Amino acid sequence: MADAPTISAAAAPRLRRGWRLFIFYSSAVLLTGLVSMLFADLLWRTGWSTSRTVLLVLFVILFLFAAIGCMHGIYGFVLRTLGTRRRITRLADYRAQSIAGTGTAIVFPICNENTVRVCEGLRATYESLERTGELELFDFFILSDSTDPDKWVEEERRWCDLVRELDALGRIYYRRRLYNEAGKSGNVRDFLNAWGRRYRYFMVCDADSVMRGQTIVDLVKLMEVHPGVGLIQTVPALVNAESLFGRMQQFANRLYAPLFIAGLNYWALDLGNYWGHNALIRTEPFMQFCDLPQLPGRRPFGGQILSHDFVEAALLSRENWGIWFAYDLEGSYEEGPQAIIENARRERRWCQGNLQHGLVLFARGLRGVSRLHLMLGICGYLAGPLWLLFLITFNWIHWYQKNSGLSDITLPAFNPYLANWSGTAHALLVFVICMVVIMLPKALALIDLAFDWQRRRAFGGLARTTLGVVGETIFSTLHAPLLMLWHTQFVITNLLGVSVGWGPQKRAADGTAWSSAVRRHWWHTLVGLVWGVLMWQLDQTLFWWFTPVLAGMALSIPLSVFTSRRSLGARTRKMDLFLTPEETAPPLELVALRARLKVHEITEDTTPRHPHAGLAEAVLDPYVNAIHVSLLREKQLNPVYAEQLARLGVGSGEVRTLGEKLLATGPDKLTAAERSLIMADAHALVWLHQQAWLRPDESLAPWWKAMIREFSWRET
Amino acid sequence: MDVSMESAVTGAAGQLAGRPLEEWNAAYVKVENYFHALRVRNKALLGQLVLRVLERAMRRAPAEPDRSATKLAAEEMDRLVVEWFAAVLQEAPANADQMLTTRGRLALLLADMPGRWQEQFLRPGPWPQEFVNAMRETYFRAGPDFQLSKMAPRPLDLGPITTLTNLGRLPYVRMAMVWIGFALLLIGVFWLTHGGFEQMNSRVSSLIDWFTQFYR
């Protein structure tokens, strides 16, 4: 077995990033400084105290986060208006570049995903690539980490169907790992160890990714033109949302993201970031530098690096490989969560991964910009608890002021321009500035749209888009306090190393079930109501200022249920609200994907499958059995897999005994590990197939009789 | 069924080849189920194939009275299928391990027997060349040839964080922690005895007053 290849990149000429970083972040610091002075002056007018110092510190940190966000919007807007050549697609002419002789693997790492969706997403990408005429330079891999045996068998069956339908034998491959070491990054590493050296590039896709063929070809051309680039990250557009929540998220993503990413590219340039999917990667440097070490210490911080993508990007950058955002390449798609709870579930996973980056933040040799990417990721989750702390401190100060008997007559402002302003007017000014900083990027996105008639039409017109922005802003205002509480919970539980179970969500036909919403949001509602009552008692004027925060919490249950409704999503679609370019003029890939998913929805049996249906299928269905056994036999050719199979106990006499037990008593009498062992043994499965069909019914467990009836007469 | 076969299988009333009719019925269902699982959907073809298997089973039946009709039929079905796979794929059934049937079934699927070649299934040769080619030339690959390598994690110097994560392992760190705790205790005592207690007391009592008023 050969070691990973050894290559190194020549140090790329730097692109005056230092100045850009200085100007960009100085703008944010300058704005934060000025507004913080204003806020400090306000606090000083009401009498300084320790708690006011705490409040000011929290304000400075939170305002800096908001200012950085705002600067991304402003810089992005300016760059989009004036244009910039400092982007990967403009650095050199790549269109005429030949990609002959290159080999690219497009990999779909999956783990217990919706198999139909995975296969149809892959099909849409495959067919799109076929239309470019460059298909022979690409191979597709479904890299399964699925632990559910039913999923395993279904994946094999659907993969085989896909390959037959597309006549893509030797073009689309399937591999399932026996041991899921190191999650998704381990899955990709396993692929690279087996086949990585065959391909100059590889593209990682998520289970819900779809890529336009021409975009993939363009990415390969860009890589060929820029030999010092190690990774090009596309900016996936959220698509296919049906619920109200999903459509609003999708709308926000499509409208605001171009500005933010242009701003991000301004200071990151060739030290961009990797978001884990829809990115093309140069295989050799990745194999050489990006095998992640285990972090020292115990979980949740020690052990395997969960959010591996940021760290992999940092490791590539450390070795002078360029990483770019190809933010102006269209044709990269993914799907987002369809409900608030689903979104929080994902946030919880990401929170743990991002907090873990705290350990990597000070690693020696990393580029400063990589540290910034890591830092911004961490801050995204720390902002929640800090905001909560800010609100609590503010309430404490107000309560103490009111009950301490101290005078609430304010001193004149230190700032001569505000000398005659009342304390309330001064506070209102600070509040308005904060709102402007938060809302400005949205307004700039609208202005940006107004000057681009093609995009304007794609979003359904300026008036509808403005209405959409207003609706999305109202929703995100109500949603923000929920994220604040959730992020606080996630940060605290992660820091304490406590794992909070998030079992499967109960879904109604049209979205989140009420019972599920109550289970997830009861404490948000309680916090909102108790806080609201206390504030009402404390100060009724202040109560009204707090209503957006309190309403988000108090109304969390209906908010969660109603925004998850597909019917409401459809209604807003009919009203031309929250439209995105992929809705008004859907690209061919998405049209094909949706049509095929619809066919599956109509034609496929939706009755719940029997327990152990995968095992029954692998044993009884003559074709599925043949596919499954062939794949297991092929595994033996790889010494690593062969060793793992032997470690599992495959080929031992015990498997035949278990097989006899399975036939005589049915699968319920076997443990999950025993069933897995049988499923991993090719010889046992061939034997079981023969015996299940040869033996008279009387010598088989009743479960087999029922399954034989089902599998012999089903119509698939 | 031919005449000789007919004479061989007829017997006492309610029996066929020395077995009750119900047994043959069960055998029929068993064989039919398997062929149906192979997606032989044409009813005429299906019936014909099942009868061919049962015919072979009935021939054996008189000589093997201790075996049920279902058992005999299932064995004949298996034999017939293996022989046919061996003939089509040009592999000797005697040498074939169980993997011949796996290969055969896979070839049926990839050659699209259920869709295009149902009438050829289990039929003696010669078969259409296109069908033979489709059966013999199909290959099944879950991946290209392995080109194995081994990625190895490079050590990552975590800088000051390494010191932090190793802090617990440093000698005397627990003793130092005890001393720091003691110092904090002293500071707390000092604060409480120098006005801190009154300060805390007044804040707690005003909080209690506020709550009392609130509940009134």
Report the relative pairing of strands B15-16 and B19-20 from DSSP bridges.
Answer: antiparallel
Chain position carrying tokens 């606080």: A488
Residues B132 and B173 in one domain: no
Q: Residues near A474 by Cβ (< 8 Å), separated by ≥ 6?
A: none
B69: nearest CA partner in chain A: A696
**A5 at interface of B, judged by CB pairs closer than 8 A:** yes
pLDDT of amino acid A413: 67
B166-201 core/surface letters (b: 16 or more CB in 10 A; e: else): eeeeeeeeeeeeeeeeeeeeeeeeeeeeeeeeeeee
Residue B139 and residue A197: Cβ atoms within 8 Å? no
Distance from CA of B15 to the nearest CA of A (A): 19
pLDDT, averaged per 10 consecutive residues of chain A (716 residues), comes to: 50 67 93 93 85 94 97 97 91 92 96 94 97 96 93 94 92 92 92 95 96 97 96 97 96 97 95 96 96 81 88 95 96 96 93 91 90 95 97 92 71 72 88 96 97 94 96 97 96 79 58 94 97 92 93 97 96 96 96 95 80 91 93 88 90 89 92 92 92 87 87 66
A360: nearest CA partner in chain B: B158
| B74, B105, B151 ranked by CB distance to A189: nearest | B151
B50-54: Cβ within 8 A, 24+ apart: B51/B1, B52/B80, B52/B122, B53/B77, B53/B80, B54/B24, B54/B27, B54/B28
| B33, B38, B161 ranked by CB distance to A362: nearest | B161
Distance from CA of A510 to the nearest CA of B (A): 36
B145: nearest CA partner in chain A: A195
Chain position carrying tokens 């209690």: B208
Residue B143 and residue A359: Cβ atoms within 8 Å? no
In a domain, B10, yes or no: yes
ipTM, interface predicted TM-score of the complex: 0.78
Contacts B71 to A, Cβ<8 Å: 694-696
Report the relative pairing of strands A2-3 and A332-334 from DSSP bridges.
Answer: unpaired
- Over residues B179-196, the pLDDT tens digits come to 788 888 888 887 777 777
Chain position carrying tokens 């400063």: A368
Backbone angle region of A366, left / alpha / beta, with phi > 0 → left and psi within -120 to 50 → alpha: beta
Residue A696 and residue B70: Cβ atoms within 8 Å? yes
pLDDT of amino acid A125: 98
In a domain, B211, yes or no: yes
User: Which of residues A75 and B164 earns the better pLDDT score?
Assistant: A75
Q: How far lies A55's CA from each of A392, A410, B36, in Å?
A: 9, 18, 75
Read off the pTM: 0.89
DSSP states along A87-136: SHHHHS--TT---TT--EEEEEEESS--HHHHHHHHHHHHHHHHHHT-GG
Residue B38 and residue A687: Cβ atoms within 8 Å? no
Give the H/E segment covering residue A204. strand A201-204
Residues B110 and B193 in one domain: no
Domain count, chain B: 2
Contact call for residues A341 and A243 (beta carbons, < 8 A): no
In a domain, B162, yes or no: no
Domain of residue B185 covers 169-215
Chain position carrying tokens 């063929």: A213
In a domain, B63, yes or no: yes
In a domain, B164, yes or no: no
Distance from CA of B74 to the nearest CA of A (A): 5
Backbone angle region of A214, left / alpha / beta, with phi > 0 → left and psi within -120 to 50 → alpha: alpha
Residues B93 and B28 in one domain: yes
Q: Which of A1, A175, A200 is nearest to A100 (CA)?
A: A200
Q: Residues near B179 by Cβ (< 8 Å), separated by ≥ 6?
A: none
CA–CA dist A217, A197 (Å, integer): 20
DSSP states along A31-85: HHHHHHHHHHHHHHHT---HHHHHHHHHHHHHHHHHHHHHHHHHHHHHHHHH--S
Domain map (residue ranges) of chain A: 1-92+226-604, 613-713
A157: nearest CA partner in chain B: B109
CA dihedral A522, A523, A527, A532 (to 10 degrees): 0
CA–CA dist A432, A478 (Å, integer): 18
CA–CA dist A694, A254 (Å, integer): 59
Q: Kindly report the number of other CB atoms within 10 A of residue A257's CB atom.
A: 18
Contacts B143 to A, Cβ<8 Å: 141, 173-175, 194-195, 634
Rounded to whole angstroms, the maximal C-alpha distance in chain B is 119
In chain A, the N- to C-terminal Cα span, in Å, equals: 42
CA–CA dist A665, B164 (Å, integer): 56
pLDDT of amino acid A110: 95
Residue A164 and residue B109: Cβ atoms within 8 Å? yes
B65-75 core/surface letters (b: 16 or more CB in 10 A; e: else): eebbbbbbbbb
DSSP states along B55-81: HHHHHHGGG-TTS-HHHHHHHHHHHHH
- How big is the A-B interface in CB pairs under 8 Å? 193
pLDDT of amino acid A578: 97
